A and B are shown apart, each in its own frame.
Chain A
Amino acid sequence: MYRLSKLRFGFPIGLFFWLLIDGTVSQVFSVQLFRTPSTMVSHLVVLWLVCGAIFEADSALSMPLARWAAVAGAVFDLYYTGIFGLYVFIFPLVIYMTRRLVSWIRPNFLSGLLVYFIDITVVEALGYLASRAMHLNDASGNAFLVNTLGPTLAFNLAMFVILYFPIRWVYNWLK
Chain B
Amino acid sequence: MQKFSFNRRLVIIIVCLIVSFALMTVSVAIRNKKSTPPLVQQFGNDIVGLVDRVVAIPSNGLSGSVSSISELLNTYQENQQLKKQVSELAQTKVRDQTLAKENQQLKKEVSLNNSLTDYTAVTASVITRTPSSWQNQVVINKGASAGVQKNMPVMSGSGLIGRVAEVNKTNSKVELITDNNDSANRFAVSITTKSGKTVNGVLSGYKAATGQITMNNITTKAKISKGDKVVTSGLGGLTPKGLYVGKVAKTTGDDYGLSTKLYITPATDLSDLNIVTVAVTKS
Q: Would you give the shortest CB distance from A82 to chain B, in whole angstroms?
A: 5
B contact residues around A16 at 8 Å (CB): 51
Given contacts A24-B55, A26-B131, contact A82 B165 (CB under 8 A): yes
Per-residue CB contact flags for chain A residues 9-38 toward chain B (1 = under 8 Å, else 0) read 000000011001111111110110011110
How many angstroms from the CA of A30 to the CA of B208 in the assembled complex?
15
Which of B37, B128, B178, B211 has most chain A Cβ within 10 Å? B128
Asked if residues B137 and A138 are in contact (CB atoms below 8 Å), the reply is no
Per-residue CB contact flags for chain B residues 140-173 toward chain A (1 = under 8 Å, else 0) read 0000000000000000000000000110000001
What's the dominant secondary structure at chain B's contact region?
Answer: mixed
B contact residues around A152 at 8 Å (CB): 133
Residue B134 at the chain A interface, CB threshold 8 Å: yes
A contact residues around B59 at 8 Å (CB): 24, 28
Asked if residues A137 and B129 are in contact (CB atoms below 8 Å), the reply is no
Q: Which of A60-87 contact B (CB under 8 A)?
A: 75, 77-86
A contact residues around B92 at 8 Å (CB): none
Asked if residues B44 and A27 are in contact (CB atoms below 8 Å), the reply is no
Q: Would you give the shortest CB distance from A18 to chain B, in whole angstroms?
A: 10
How many angstroms from the CA of A43 to the CA of B136 in the assembled complex?
16
Asked if residues B48 and A75 are in contact (CB atoms below 8 Å), the reply is yes
Q: Which of B247-279 contact A (CB under 8 A)?
A: 269, 271-273
Chain B count of residues within 8 A CB distance of the other chain: 55
Asked if residues A135 and B136 are in contact (CB atoms below 8 Å), the reply is no
Residue A134 at the chain B interface, CB threshold 8 Å: yes
Q: Would you give the shortest CB distance from A14 to chain B, in whole angstroms?
A: 12
A contact residues around B24 at 8 Å (CB): 83-86, 130, 133-134
Asked if residues B41 and A78 are in contact (CB atoms below 8 Å), the reply is yes
Q: Would you give the shortest CB distance from B205 to chain A, in whole angstroms?
A: 8
Residue B138 at the chain A interface, CB threshold 8 Å: yes
How many angstroms from the CA of A27 to the CA of B173 in the assembled complex?
13
A/B pair count, beta carbons within 8 Å:
153
Given contacts A78-B45, A85-B20, A89-B16, contact A36 B134 (CB under 8 A): no
Which residue of chain A has its CB nearest to the CB of B269? A31
Contact of B20 among A27, A34, A89, A147 (CB under 8 A): A89
How many angstroms from the CA of A101 to the CA of B69 in the assembled complex?
46
Given contacts A82-B37, A133-B21, A136-B135, contact A20 B272 (CB under 8 A): no
Asked if residues A80 and B130 are in contact (CB atoms below 8 Å), the reply is yes
Given contacts A128-B134, A133-B21, contact A20 B128 (CB under 8 A): yes
Asked if residues B130 and A81 are in contact (CB atoms below 8 Å), the reply is yes
Asked if residues A23 and B31 are in contact (CB atoms below 8 Å), the reply is no
How many angstroms from the CA of A131 to the CA of B179 in the assembled complex?
12
Which residue of chain B has its CB nearest to the CB of A82? B166
A contact residues around B56 at 8 Å (CB): 20, 23-24, 27
B contact residues around A84 at 8 Å (CB): 23-24, 26-27, 41
Asked if residues B208 and A147 are in contact (CB atoms below 8 Å), the reply is yes
Asked if residues A31 and B129 are in contact (CB atoms below 8 Å), the reply is no
Asked if residues B55 and A42 are in contact (CB atoms below 8 Å), the reply is no
Per-residue CB contact flags for chain B residues 48-61 toward chain A (1 = under 8 Å, else 0) read 11011001100110
Q: Would you give the shortest CB distance from B10 to chain A, in whole angstroms?
A: 14
A contact residues around B109 at 8 Å (CB): none
Residue B22 at the chain A interface, CB threshold 8 Å: yes
Q: Would you give the shortest CB distance from A31 to chain B, in whole angstroms?
A: 5
Per-residue CB contact flags for chain B residues 95-131 toward chain A (1 = under 8 Å, else 0) read 0000000000000000000000000000000111111
Residue A41 at the chain B interface, CB threshold 8 Å: yes
Asked if residues A135 and B182 are in contact (CB atoms below 8 Å), the reply is yes
Contact sample, A vs B, 30 pairs, CB 8 Å cutoff = A17-B55, A20-B51, A20-B128, A24-B55, A25-B131, A26-B128, A30-B272, A31-B269, A36-B271, A41-B132, A43-B131, A79-B44, A79-B45, A79-B139, A80-B132, A80-B137, A81-B132, A81-B137, A82-B165, A84-B24, A85-B27, A86-B24, A88-B20, A89-B19, A131-B135, A133-B21, A133-B24, A134-B28, A135-B182, A148-B133
Which 4 pairs from chain A and chain B are nearest by CB? A85-B23, A23-B128, A39-B133, A131-B134
- What residues make up the interface of B, taking CB atoms closer than 8 Å to A? 16, 19-28, 31, 37, 41, 44-45, 48-49, 51-52, 55-56, 59-60, 62-63, 126-139, 165-166, 173, 178, 180-182, 208-211, 269, 271-273
